[in-house]
Amino acid sequence: MGDMLKRVPVREQDAKERATNFEEVCYGYNLEEATEEAARCLDCKNARCIQGCPVSINIPGFITKVKEGDIEGAYEVIGQSSALPAICGRVCPQESQCECRCIRGIKGEPVSIGKLERFVADYALEHDIKPKKAEASNGHKVAVIGSGPAGLTCAGDLAKLGYEVTVFEALHELGGVLVYGIPEFRLPKEKVVKKEIEKVKELGVKFETNVVIGKSTTIDQLMEEEDFEAVFIGSGAGLPVFMGIPGETANGVFSANEYLTRSNLMKAFDPEYDTPIAAGKKVAVIGGGNVAMDAARTALRLGAEVHIVYRRSEAELPARVEEVHHAKEEGIIFDLLTNPKEILVDDNGWVKGMRVIRMELGEPDASGRRRPVEIEGSEFDMELDTVIMSLGTSPNPLIAATTKGLETNRRKCIVADEETGETSKAAVYAGGDAVTGAATVILAMGAGKAGAKGIHEYLSGEREEA
Ligand SMILES: Cc1cc2nc3c(=O)[nH]c(=O)nc-3n(C[C@H](O)[C@H](O)[C@H](O)COP(=O)(O)OP(=O)(O)OC[C@H]3O[C@@H](n4cnc5c(N)ncnc54)[C@H](O)[C@@H]3O)c2cc1C
């Protein structure tokens, strides 16, 4: 038995090697390592870790099962709260949720909850352990828009309660950002995402791809002409934000979403596909969030020298600590306290560089973070051939514009109740990035759960009145 103050280290692919391939970076625990790490859990009576989890997984409950060697039992405990544990175990910001509340963290390192969740979920995928299905249909039809974590969770929860659920997805692949945004080296698609979606299918959920709600059909039509009694909108926030600086429409400027979609979904990295992606010998990614790290690490694997250009300092980087650490290890260059002023364009309309200015941190702004201020006269030019903008996204206004009586706020987000997902329109519920703006997988899942609960209360209440 190792030092109880320290976590069992997790095996990872060597940094130099992985900078040239798209294989998964982290290998996860094996049974022996997971059992050793699980033994560090103190099984607290008042488990603060559960309070830190947006879907309230019974964390000490599943870890106790791991300690006992009952991995199937551990999966059952997690399955009561989460339909996508192999995904969450890989991409949740555990360090600011469950793990930062772990008592073990006071004197030593917190229990590696995320890696244990991943171990249990991967075991269930490998051993094809089935989720529990509803005994019979209750005859109610519900439509879910979008197959990201919010839509998948809402659909799965409703199916378990016996609803007939159809998910409508605009793209040809299911999974939302899990497939088109987060890269393969962090979240394997065939091995993890597709298999976890299969489990939602096994609950009886139907999926229709290539259906853009607002174009192919509308929410009003689904309810009036196709007898859907309730709708959950989980359409995400896929519309990129740009800076509005000169040169931004040049060839060689991408939004991070487009760049990642070309690579992840349209396999631009694979010579067998003819999807074009930037020439990318010298790439700058503007922004400091998870999306920026993913775009930068993708460009690196495509053979480029990559700079992250971020206007604040390292302490304010919004990306997960683990992502920044991995990006640095792989050789990404961080140009911090630096902000773009103009993209420099050659005579043929292609990016040739970027004028930037140095920044310093001033007084705290409304967000509580110190405001970056330009240092006069500190401009300089970077030589580049690709610029990737990763400044955030907002919800696409299509659904709101085509649905009568659906209220949105000034950020174009759908207005919905946090507890129930209820919107301004009767029988229409919403959650995830479409409501909050770009957030996290687990928050979207929490919102999907809340929406399922809200719809169930609404439809079962209706049944009582009938
Ligand atoms: C590159 C990247 C990296 C990220 N990394 C992390 C991370 O490490 N950890 C983390 O927790 N979060 C991360 N996030 C954020 C996280 O992925 C999102 O918060 C989460 O996916 C939101 O889930 P959602 O279900 O609300 O929306 P989405 O995942 O965006 O899914 C919405 C789905 O709705 C579909 N849709 C949209 N409009 C329509 C329509 N009109 N009709 C039919 N279908 C429609 C879309 O095609 C999409 O499939 C990352 C995001 C990105 C972009």
Is there an atom of ligand 1 within 6 Å of 166 CB? no
- How do residues 150-197 score in pLDDT, each as one tens digit? 999 999 999 999 999 999 999 999 999 999 999 999 999 999 999 999
Instruction: State the first-to-last Cα distance of the chain, in angstroms, to the nearest integer.
Output: 61
Angle at 360 between CA 354 and CA 361, to 5 degrees: 130
Mean pLDDT, all residues of the chain:
94
Centroid of ligand 1 to alpha carbon of 147 (angstroms): 9
Centroid of ligand 1 to alpha carbon of 177 (angstroms): 4
Is there an atom of ligand 1 within 6 Å of 396 CB? yes
- How do residues 226-274 score in pLDDT, each as one tens digit? 999 999 999 999 999 999 999 999 999 999 999 999 998 887 777 788 7
- How do residues 2-50 score in pLDDT, each as one tens digit? 578 999 999 999 999 999 899 999 999 999 999 999 999 999 999 999 9
The amino acid present at 350, given as its one-letter code, is: W
In CATH terms, the fold of domain 141-238+394-459 is: FAD/NAD(P)-binding domain (3.50.50)
Residues of the chain with CATH 3.50.50.60: 141-238+394-459, 242-391
| Strand pairing report for 26-28 and 11-12 | antiparallel
Centroid of ligand 1 to alpha carbon of 433 (angstroms): 7
Q: Which CATH architecture has domain 2-126?
A: Orthogonal Bundle (1.10)
Is there an atom of ligand 1 within 6 Å of 441 CB? yes
List Cα–Cα distances, 258 to 145, 235, 276, 381, 442, in angstroms: 21, 17, 11, 25, 23
Angle at 329 between CA 324 and CA 333, to 5 degrees: 70
The residue with greater pLDDT, 347 or 461, is: 347
Angle at 439 between CA 437 and CA 441, to 5 degrees: 130
Residues of the chain with CATH 1.10.1060.10: 2-126
Is there an atom of ligand 1 within 6 Å of 174 CB? no
| Strand pairing report for 239-240 and 393-394 | antiparallel
Query: How many residues are recorded in the chain?
Result: 466
Q: DSSP E strands: which ranges in 237-337?
A: 239-240, 253-255, 282-286, 305-309, 333-335
> What b/e sequence results for 57-75 when a residue is b if at least 16 CB atoms lie within 10 Å of its CB, and e otherwise?
bbbbbbbbbbbeeebeebb
Q: What CATH code is assigned to 242-391?
A: 3.50.50.60
What pLDDT is attached to residue 465? 42
Which of 24, 97, 182, 239 maximizes ligand 1 atoms within 8 Å of its Cβ, making it the mutation to test the pocket? 182
Positive or negative torsion for Cα 23, 62, 453, 450 = negative
Which of 180, 235, 321 maximizes ligand 1 atoms within 8 Å of its Cβ, making it the mutation to test the pocket? 235
- How do residues 223-234 score in pLDDT, each as one tens digit? 999 999 999 999
| Confidence class for position 466, pLDDT limits 50, 70, 90 | very low
Nearest atom of ligand 1 to the alpha carbon of 212: 42
DSSP 197: H
Nearest atom of ligand 1 to the alpha carbon of 448: 25
The span from the CA of 455 to the CA of 159, in Å, is 12
Q: What DSSP line would sit under 357-400, residue for residue?
A: EEEEEEEE-TTSSEEEEE-TT--EEEE-SEEEE-S-EE--THHH
CA dihedral 179, 183, 186, 192 (to 10 degrees): 30
Is there an atom of ligand 1 within 6 Å of 171 CB? yes
116 has a pLDDT exceeding 60: yes
